[in-house]
Each structure stands twice: as structure tokens, then as C-alpha cells.
Structure 1
Amino acid sequence: MAQNNTLLTFTVRRNEPELIAPAKPTPRELKPLSDIDDQEGLRFQIPVIQFYRHDPKMRNKNPARVIREALAKVLVFYYPFAGRLKEGPAKKLMVDCSGEGVLFIEAEADVTLNQFGDALQPPFPCLEELLYDVPGSGGVLDSPLLLIQVTRLLCGGFIFALRLNHTMSDAPGLVQFMTALGEMAQGAPRPSILPVWQRELLFARVQPHVTCTHHEYDEVKDTKGTIIPLDDMAHRSFFFGPTEVAALRRFVPSSLQKCSTFEVLTACLWRCRTIALKPDPEEEMRIICIVNARAKFNPPLPKGYYGNGFAFPVAISRAGDLSTKPLGHALKLVMQAKNAVNDEYMRSLTDLMVIKGRPHFTVVRSYLVSDVTRAGFDAVDFGWGNAAYGGPAKGGVGAIPGVASFYIPFTNHKGETGIVLPICLPNAAMETFVKELNNMLAKGNNDQVLKEHNYNVLSRL
């Protein structure tokens, strides 16, 4: 099991929050977001956190000051981030490039990086202290689009925490910005990849028309009260290394052998979670896979584009089928949903947003998964090397807890690289989930390693 660092407590002393404006004058203009950016399901703030170790060659450098100076410089290139969102007719969002700046907080904490333990992963202790919610700053409209807090640690390391208005960027776009910030913190005169706005590439067509099926935006009524209550919830993280993935792949039929690790894990999660929740067998269960569509466009989105470029395709099955049929049933549906995303699917999606008023994806009997294992958060370097941990600050996606998870890259204490999957379920359901998952691993792999660990993936962290 992961070290329970949530019991760790410490004190954070913060300077007053300040607004950092671009270092040079920038264009004052109104820039519309794309019709993918401004959908209802992205109108929230998403937190990211990076942990950095002490570097002796940087001992005379204050990371907060280094990053603060670089931030003013990088905002000359990414000046829309220094503006504020406005809403026009038909809920259309646009950036007023006012140059007001992004929020920045310098802080220090009486704790060392080692005290967080070897297993750096969400949930993190005292997150609300490491990423302070400045009063009045958390809205979507007329609020800062970025909030950054740099917290120095007793050991000489530091924590970089960031909160982003998700309508502005997705994970690849945010990593692009953070990488540019890191480059300029190390003295570069400009980012190696220059930012590309061009949100008009993802505007709806002149005569919008939906040509594909988009079940992720179905209007589904919660007729049986199946939205999960948020009290009495259990949070656990599961590690899937080579042994666990190999065990699950033994359930994959020959016709689906080309499936990715993400698809296998998603099918397994969907099946085990459904069994754990014990829904009516006739209920419709959904799993939503975030698919990066940048390369799906024809032509692909240009290098440097930092807007949202993904879709929410959904796989749907009866609960009874998910619970009783082999894993291949769920896996085939997941693969089909992902493979449906192409250029026409994305064009149809932008049109649907305009026609239907930018709806939220349905959360009724849905679970959403997002793979950030290759996003590159951990490779962001401000001069202190790569992050000891870089990525989501919380285990779940979006503003709705308990209905989503990130897939996070992780190396355990044995040096095994794999994926950590944080899960949030009601306590009773979590016990069933663990049992079902352990049973699958036991049947799929007779390896002595799993026997020694009582088939419990939790102990492999």
C-alpha cells in the first residue's frame, strides 16, 4: 500500500498573492475560445503539482524568484493567460487580453521532501496550503486564468503548484506552457515551441450539422438515484506494473490483442467498478475515455497549439453484461469508442456544441478516465532537474469527485515503472472492488510474486 502521507501535517507561510503581468506590452484584443474549449464540462479550475528535489548547484537560487521573473517573460508570448474570460451571446467564451496578470504566491513550508514519503502520488497532504485558493479567484469569468504557488522546503527542494482554468488548455497545452516557463527560468530568450492560438480551427462549421453519434452528451435522467453519494467515501491508489498488466492481458481474446495498456486497464476498471456498485443489471453503465485528437485532424493541429484538443467518447453497456461477461466484452466497447474519434467526429462535435448550447457530458452512471502517463509533467525543468512527481494534484478529473480518475506514471520502491490509478468509491463498494480486482489478477497470473503479495496490488506500491 502507498505510504499514508495524508497524515503528514506542516505549516506553510505565504507572502501576499500578487498579480504578475507580462514583462512587455502585449496586444489588447478580444480572442474567442474554440467551440471545444468553452463547453460546460471544461468550465472549472484544474490543479497540478510538481515536487522538486534540492540541487546543490542551485543552492544560492530562490526558486520562487526565478520562476516569478520567468513568468513575466513567458507571458509576453502567452499573453492571453494574463487576461480574463468574458461570456458573449449563446454562452460563447472569449479572452479579454487585458494584461491584468496571473496570480503568484511565494511561500515556504517547515517540511522536507522526504517527509512526503517515497510514494509521491495524490492525494497530497495539506494541498489547500500548497495551492492556496485566493478568495475571489476561483471563478470562470472575470477571474485570473492561472494561479501559481511556489513553496520552498526545508531541504532546499520546492513545490510548484498551479491552478488552470480548463477552458484555456488541456494537458498537452498546459505542459507546453510550463515547459516554456522552465526554459525561460533557465535563461532562454524565448520558448523553443512558440505558442499558436488559432482557436478558429475548432470553430463550428458555417452551417453546423451533427454527423456522428455523441452519446457522451446524451440527456440521461437519474431515475434510480445512482449518482454516488459523497459521504463515507474510500480513496485508494492501485499500482499496475508489468506483472499486473501481463495478468490482465491473459483475459484479452485473440481478436483484441492489439489493444493498448490504457484500454485493458480501462476495461478492467469499468468491469470491477460496476460489480462493486451493484447496480440494477438492466441499468446502462458508461465509461468516458479522454482521447487526444490533435493528430486525428486532417491536417493535424499545428505544433504549438495550446487549446483543448480532445474528445470525450463513451462506451455503454448493460450492468449485467459488464458484470457477467468476460473482460473482452468491456474491452471491445472501449476500443470502439476510442477508435470513433477522427476528423469528422471532431467537426461534428464542434457543431453539436453550438447547436445544443455547449452541454456538459452526462455524469449519470458514468465514469471518466484520463491518461496523463505521457503528458510530460514530470519532465518540466525550472533549473532543478525533472520533477520527483509531476502531474494532477488530485486523483480525480473535473469538478465532480468520485466519478473520474487519472492514470498517473509511477515508479515503485522496487524500481518497477507502471501506472497508478487513484479510485474513490463508497467504503463498502471499495472492499468489493479490491476483492474483484485481486481475483482477476490471481486468475490471470500464477506468478509467485502475486502469491507472495496475496494478490493485492495495493502492496506493490
Structure 2
Amino acid sequence: MAIILPNSAMQDLKVTFQESTLVFPAQESAHEKKSIFLSNIDQILNYRIPTANFFSTDPKFPPESVAKRLKTALEKVLVFFDFMAGRLKLNQESGRLEIECNSAGAGFVVASSEYSLEEIGELGCPNLGFQQLAVHSLKNLVLSSADDHDDQPLCIFQVTSFKCGGFAFGMSVNHILHDGISAKTFSDILASQALDEDKPFPFTPCLDRRLLAARSPPTVEYPHPEFFKPQLPNSSPPVFDCKQETLDYIILKFTPNDITYLKQKATKDTKKKISSFDVVVALVWRCKALSYMQEHNKEESDRVSTLLNVVDLRSRLNNPPLPLPYCGNAVLLAYSSAKCSDIEHGPFSNLVEMVSAAPARVTSEYARSVIDSMEIHKLLPCGEYMVSSWLKLGFDQVEYPWGKPLYSCPVASHRKDICWIFPDSHGINALVSLPPPDMDKFKSHFQNFFI
């Protein structure tokens, strides 16, 4: 078990931005000058997810060549994924967000760092400098062809070279465009087009987001305590985001031995098989819930903590079913709730069981009920903490012409309400972001659990 702190010496990667421009579809798309329907799940995810992929030095693929290849590949891929080159707009009649496929362009940035990958050190550190590898806006960057535009691209791609010849491929993507599986689909297709010769797409993604439209009339068949109705104007959809504040960041590194220990602790009185994900998430939930508690405070002990676990709908829906290569946001939330006193003093196996059992609640009928309820009430997630798993997404397995990434990770952001769980070559990592006082308590509870 290890807690990895940010590398304070590397929070500025000394990045110079050399080019920032817009990339347009190579030819007119099928949806040109049309608007794309966004599901109720898409509607609330209007915020950016930054990611970074690191690649080692390859003399056959210097960073400047990689940048040219990726830019050309984007031009080809955006013909099909034309919504990624569009812009969000609010339909005043319906009060819903749509994507206008106007070929306004995706962002593309070329930059360089004064450091080598070796000097940056452990890529698994929650390095705040990585924020420079996936910028959120083209404004104020040198040579920007977008400086004259008030609107910014929904996605920005960035190639940053290091002095060793290695490079990072960063992406800052509005969550409305993709969930994790959808983003992996896009990445696989983009990588396949980064060759010199023309090559067909490895598979055809499904772009029909009306497959997740509410039913007519909407039919709410279940209670949905994992959502609440915010007190907001009805003129536009609410956004599932949080305020900017000072946060501390850590990476929790779980080795195979750590996970074995957690599983043994969770199955002390039962022989039920449980996953590595379940035990890691249960421990993170425990530490997060207790990090808010004040000692000897009865109200805090009686407070209910709710964990939200992001689950994929592609294998769960029927009538109609959802194709596996569906592009968009096909995710909903499984919830687990318990009193803080029970979380603190009850057996660890109880928490693991709650985490393990929650996804089964999200059946096809339940998911359709959630979507219909969102149609009526414009709901937002209601929970103390959310976990989002990258364990099976496979971003580190995307095969570019220059090989697979050395390391692929979410970039530390302003989200204190989401814990990212992602694979490591030696186990499982969890990226935790919390205000400093809560982080101190979180680390203390985490370390004490293993004593």
C-alpha cells in the first residue's frame, strides 16, 4: 500500500506552445448543417475531461512527424465524427442542448517541454504539471487561429514533445461527446488512421443517440434516490459540475498484495467471490465518508454517506438494445448508502457487499425509468462521492503506428467529487482530490486501515 504525493518540483513542465489551430473535416459530412440530438444523460455532462498518453522515443516517429500524422488523421476521422467539430447550442424551444454540426473545427495544439520524460520522473504521480499537456481553451495561445472566435472547440488535441524525443498526446474533451468506452472507440479509430496509407475504419461506431431518448410518454417505475431535482431555472439543463477550490491530490497505489489483503478482510466470514475493483472502491468510500466526520459528533455519525458507481449500459439495455460501439454517454449510476457510524464500526465486508451488489439494480427497466425521470424533472446525481473506473477501458492498449502508450491517465482536475480508478502495471491506482483538511483525514484513515 502506498500514497503517492504530487511531485512539487514538476508542477511547471516549462511548456512552450508552438502552434494552435483548428482542424476541420476533410470533406462534407453526413450531418453537415444539422443538429445532433443529445440524450438526458448527455445533457448534464457539460464539462471537460482531460487525459494524457505518454510515448517513449522512437527515431522512426519523431514528435513533429507524429503531430502531422495525428492532424491528418483527425481530418479524416472528423468526417464521420462530425459532431466533435461542431458546437453546443441551446434549443430555446425545448430548453435542451444540441450539437450543431457546423464544421467549426476541433482544436489542435503543438507544444514542447524543456524537460525529458526521465526528468519528470514517475508518470504515476498526480503531477499538476500534466494540466499543461491537455489545455481546455485555444485562447491566449500563440499563433492561434481561434483567437478571433468567442466559442471554443468541444475537444482539443495536443502533442507535446520532450527533449528526449518522447512525447505526450493529450486530449481535453467535453464529456457530452463521449463516455469512457465511446472515447476508447474514437481513440482506436483515430490511431488506425495515423498511417500514411488510407485504411478503412476497424469498425463502425453507432452515432444514434436517440436510442437513449426518453419514452413517450415518460414512465417512472422506480424511486431514484441517486438523483435529485436542483432548484434551477427551467430554461436550460443543469450541469453536473462542482466549484473551483484549492485541492490536494494523491494517488493510492494498490499492489497485488494489497488487494489480496483487502479481499481476505472482506471475505473473512464468507466464501463469496469479489472483485479487486469492489474492495478498492469500498476502502476509498470508507476513507472519504470518514474524512468528513468530526470526532464525537452524533449528527455526523448518523449522517448517511452515498457512493455512486458509474456503470455501463451497453450490455444492460433491451427494447431496443444498445450496440456495443454506441458513441455518446451510455452510463448511469449505481448507489450504495450507509450511516457513517456503520461505515466506521461495521465490518469491511458489509461495505464491499454493498458496492458489489449495487450495479445489479441497474436493469434495462430501471435505466429507462431513470432516463424518463430525467426528462420530467431535469435531475442531477445525488451522492457524496463518485467512482469512475478505467480498469477495463484499455486506453493503454490503443495501438498507434508508434506503439502503445507508456502510460495513460486522467489528468488531475478541479473535481473533488470523483475518484478515478485506473490500471497500473503493478496493480490498481486511484486518483483522489480533496480540500486539504479532508485530505489529511482521508490519508490518516487509509493508512490506519492497514495497521
TM-score range, shorter chain: 0.7 to 0.9
1:94 and 2:94 correspond: no
Cα deviation 1:349-396 (Å, max 9, x = unaligned): 110111102x22125xx01111102211112233221111113112x6
Deviation at 1:434, TM superposition (A): 3.0
2-structure distance, mates of 1:251, 1:112:
42
Residue of structure 1 equivalent to 2:23? 20
Task: Give 1:201's aligned amino acid.
Answer: L
Structure 1 residue 119, shift from structure 2 partner: 3.8
- Tell me, yes or no, if the aligned pair for 2:4 and 2:126 is still in contact at 8 Å: no
> Which residue identity does 2:396 align to in structure 1?
D
The amino acid of 1:285's aligned partner reads S
Determine if the alignment matches structure 1 residue 305 to structure 2 residue 326.
Answer: yes
**Residue segments in structure 2 that go unaligned for 5+ positions in a row:** 141-145, 232-241, 295-299
Question: Is 2:372 the partner of 1:351?
Answer: yes
Map of 1:126-275 to 2, 5 A cutoff?
127-128=131-132, 130-131=134-135, 133-135=137-139, 143-186=152-195, 187-218=197-228, 233-253=247-267, 254-255=269-270, 257-275=272-290
Equivalent residues in 2 for 1:107-122, closer than 5 Å: 107-122=111-126
Contact 1:288 1:314 (C-alpha < 8 Å) held by counterparts? yes
1:286 — aligned with what?
306
TM-score of the superposed pair, with normalisation by structure 2: 0.86
Displacement after TM superposition at 1:407 (Å): 0.5
CA shift for structure 1 position 235:
2.1
Q: Aligned partners of 2:163 and 2:5: how far apart in 1? A: 21
Q: Flag the 1:113–1:129 CA change in 2: closer, same or farther, 3 A.
A: same
In structure 2, the residue corresponding to 1:54 is in which secondary structure? coil
Deviation of the 1:31 alpha carbon: 1.7
1:225 alignment counterpart: none
Which residue of structure 2 aligns with residue 49 of structure 1?
52
What do the CA deviations read for 1:288-311 (whole angstroms, capped 9, x no partner)? 101112111126421321111111
CA contact (8 A) 2:391 2:422 kept: yes
CA distance in 1, matches of 2:288, 2:5: 24
Question: How many correspondences in the alignment?
Answer: 420
**Equivalent position to 1:385, from 379, 403, 415:** 403
Contact 2:185 2:325 in 1 (8 A): yes
Read off the aligned partner of 1:147 and give its amino acid letter. Answer: I
Partner of 2:430: 421
* Alignment match of 2:342 (pick from 321, 325, 334): 321
Residue of structure 1 aligned with 2:78, choices 69, 75, 78: 75
RMSD over aligned CA atoms reads: 2.6
Cα distance in structure 2, aligned partners of 1:57 and 1:375: 28
CA distance in 2, matches of 1:243, 1:313: 28
Unaligned runs of 5+ in 1: 222-227, 412-416, 443-461
Q: 1:425: Cα distance to partner?
A: 3.3
Letter of the structure 2 residue corresponding to residue 387 of structure 1: P
Matched, 1:5 2:7: yes
CA contact (8 A) 1:54 1:384 kept: no
Deviation, structure 1 residue 218: 2.9
Identity of aligned residues (%): 28
- Cα 1:68–1:119, aligned 2, differ >3 Å: closer, same or farther? closer
The residue type paired with residue 109 of structure 1 is: S
Distance in 2 of aligned mates of 1:108 and 1:237: 26
Report the alpha carbon displacement of residue 266 of structure 1 after superposing the two structures with TM. 1.3
SS in 1 for 2:280: helix
Tell whether the 8 Å contact from 2:159 to 2:167 is kept in structure 1 after alignment: yes
Instruction: Supply the distance in 1 between the matched residues of 2:49 and 2:336 (Cα, whole angstroms).
Output: 25
**1:340 equivalent among 339, 346, 361:** 361
Distance 1:296 1:234, change over 3 A: same
Aligned residues of 2:230 and 2:380 also touching (Cα < 8 A): no
1:438 has 2:447 as partner: yes
Instruction: Give, in whole Å, the separation in 1 of the partners of 2:99 and 2:291.
Output: 44
